[in-house]
Structure formats: C-alpha cells, structure tokens
Structure 1
Amino acid sequence: MSIAHRAAQRMLGWVDAWYYRRYRLRTLGPVLFLGKARYRGPSLQFDDGTLLQENDSIGRLHFNNASIAALGEGSMQRVGFRFARLMRESLRQLDQMARVDPSLSDVRVFQGVTWLPAHGQVVGFVSTPLPKDFRWRLLTAHFRLLSWVFAPAAKIRDRDDAEPRLYWLTRDALAKNVGKLKGEAAS
C-alpha cells in the first residue's frame, strides 16, 4: 500500500470518527452505523403501504468503512460474500433494535446513500437515483475516494461508476424479510 493510500485511509478514518460522534451514530453489527434525522423531501409511498412525509423521523444508515476495508483482498465475489454475511448480521441487529429501542418507535423508514448499484431487494431495499445536482457531484467524488481508500477488492476500487443512490428500507419490509437473512446473500 502506498504512502498516499495509507495517509488517505488514516485521514478518512478520522473523518469517519468525527462523523460518528457528531451525528451520534450507533454501531449496528459489523458494517453499519445508525443515526436518526428528520426527512426533508416530498411524500413517498412504499409498496408495503408505508407513507413517509416531510419532517417524519427516519433512521439513517451509514457504512462502517473501516470494517469494510478489513474484509481483506480477494476476488470481487469472495469479498462480496464476506460483505453480504456481515451485512445480514447488521440488518438482523437493526431489526432487533427497531423492535425494542423506544427511541426508534417513531421511525418507519430507514435510509442510506451509497455508490453501490441497485440491489438488496430480497431484504426489502428500494433503490432510487439521487438527483444530479451539486450534492450528487460532491457525493460522487466522495464515494470514488472512499472506494479507492477502503474497498477491499481491486475490481471494486477501480470502478468508474461510483454514482450515489438512495436506499430505502421500511420497518415493515425489514421485519417481514429478516428471516430471509439467515443464509442467503443479498441480491
């Protein structure tokens, strides 16, 4: 690993630590953090009937970049299987926390932003593109830097299609599909 790569990894590690404290994130298993925010945007109706409206509480999902980087080198498939196993564990913990934590009782929808292409339907994730505006450009650059610094597989690091996407997961879809997380890889 080059000196520039190690320096960027250390700097982004500090940024992640600051972000974790600043937004009071909680660790959800090995690869996710959870925060809480107010939804800003148009009303959204999900296929399961969940309605998300302006100012509703949402759970914000964030990847634990250091844990993902620790997956190690290997083929994209091998790293993908390791990531899927850890993601299933984190989602099971999210489901458990959503059931018992009173601070999440008003959260009906969880949302995250990532550069990964649309996937996760088996768990109930709905993926939508982010509008191509200034924020989109900043996130695209940020995700390209993150994938260069943290992605464990060379094929993932070298991808040029790091475009931000919104991922939505309703509480009902998570509860309904958590049983599917036992041994299947998220598709």
Structure 2
Amino acid sequence: MKVMHRLAQRALGLIDAWYYRRYKLKTLGPVLFVGRSHYRGPELKFDDGTLLRDNDVIGRLHFNNASIAALGEGSMHRVGFRFAKLMRESLRKLAEAAHNDPSLADVRVFQGTTWIPAHGEVVGFVSTPMPKTWKTRLLAAHFKMLMWVFAPAARIRNREQAEPRLYWLTREALSRNLDKLKVG
C-alpha cells in the first residue's frame, strides 16, 4: 500500500507541477498558490459591498498539495494546528501581494475550490457549494484521490466528504482581517 501511495503522490506532484506552469501560478507562502482568471457567472455582491461581475479578473487560489502532504502523520489536532499556522502565513503573503504586486492590482475577489467544509470565516472567507454537474463529480473524485494520498490519518480521510465548495475572499475582507492572520 505504501508503494501505491508513493506512486500516487508522485503522479499528483507531476500534475501539480504542470498545473502550476500552465496557469502561471505564483507561490504565496507555504501552502498557497495564486493565479489570475476571469470570473464566469452571475453578478455577486458580498457583505462588504464588493461587486463581482461576469468577466471581472479574480485571483484564483490553489493549495500546494505537496506542502500539505509534508505535514506528515499525527493526531487530527496536531496536523490541523500545523496546517492552520501555514495557512495563516500564506494568507499574510496573499495580503502583501494584493497590496504590492501590480499583477493583482485589479483583483477585488479571490476564489478557490476545496472540499474542506466551512472554514475560514474568521478571516473573511465565504463558502458556497458548487452546483451538481459532471465537472463537480469529476472534481469530487479528484478530491477523494487527494484525501487518499495526502490525508495524514485514515480517520481524517474517512470522516471528510469530498463535496467541492467555492471559497470567496474579497480584498476588503482580507485587508480588514489581517490582524487575525498573525502567525505564532
């Protein structure tokens, strides 16, 4: 079984590397990548007044799966604590990049996709389920594979659902919640 995990980790690592190059992602701290994309969908208005319209540029957030896998084994609490610390560090890097990087100057909203249910509200993330389509089912299967390969313990892997969710974070919410991102 360990050989299968190592082969799957290597394969997913190659996919991540291809994805990183293909979408011209930038590394933001230990667990996040960011890229640019155009939003396709209905107009969205966030609680802070930020308005997102079809074809607006958004910052696309992606997890660094290899870095997350390197968190290793341990209790759910220990691994969760390590991940939270690295995520706060990455979000601080995102806040710095949003303020200083000219390639993100026109980005008012950041958006990512994950299976992790409803985390991140304390720093301003808004989570919405993705509509049930064949693409969502394919993404759910990909998430199941990621959990099998990267989950630090079987009990975590078996507990998690692979329901793809969209996570939204406005530039305003990121800036407003910067003090909650202190690493320590």
TM-score by length of 2: 0.97
1:102 correspondence with 2:102 = yes
Any stretches of 5+ residues in structure 2 without a counterpart? none
CA distance in 2, matches of 1:133, 1:160: 20
How much has 1:154 moved relative to structure 2? Answer: 2.7
Report 1:122-137 matches (<5 A). 122-137=122-137
* Aligned residues: CA RMSD: 1.2
> What is the match of residue 80 of structure 1?
80
Amino acid at match of 2:91: L
**1:183 and 1:2 mapped to 2: Cα distance?**
34
Aligned residues: 184
Q: After superposition, where does 1:25-36 map in structure 2 within 5 Å?
A: 25-36=25-36
CA contact (8 A) 1:70 1:152 kept: no
1:158 match: secondary structure:
helix
Q: Is the 8 A contact 1:28 1:90 kept in 2?
A: yes
Q: Distance in 1 between matches of 2:33 and 2:75?
A: 26
Q: Which residue of 2 aligns with 1:166?
A: 166
Contact 2:89 2:183 in 1 (8 A): no
- Provide TM-score, normalisation by structure 1: 0.95
Using the TM superposition, give the Cα deviation of residue 183 of structure 1 relative to its aligned residue in structure 2, in angstroms.
5.0
Q: Which runs of 5+ in 1 are unaligned?
A: none
Aligned to 1:175: 175
SS at match of 1:122: helix
Deviates more, 1:143-152 or 1:167-176: 143-152
Report the Cα distance in structure 1 between the residues aligned to 2:50 and 2:160, rounded to whole angstroms: 34
Deviation at 1:54, TM superposition (A): 0.2
CA distance in 1, matches of 2:96, 2:183: 17
Query: Equivalent residue of 2:55, what SS?
Result: coil
Kept in 1, the 8 Å contact 2:125–2:169? The answer is yes
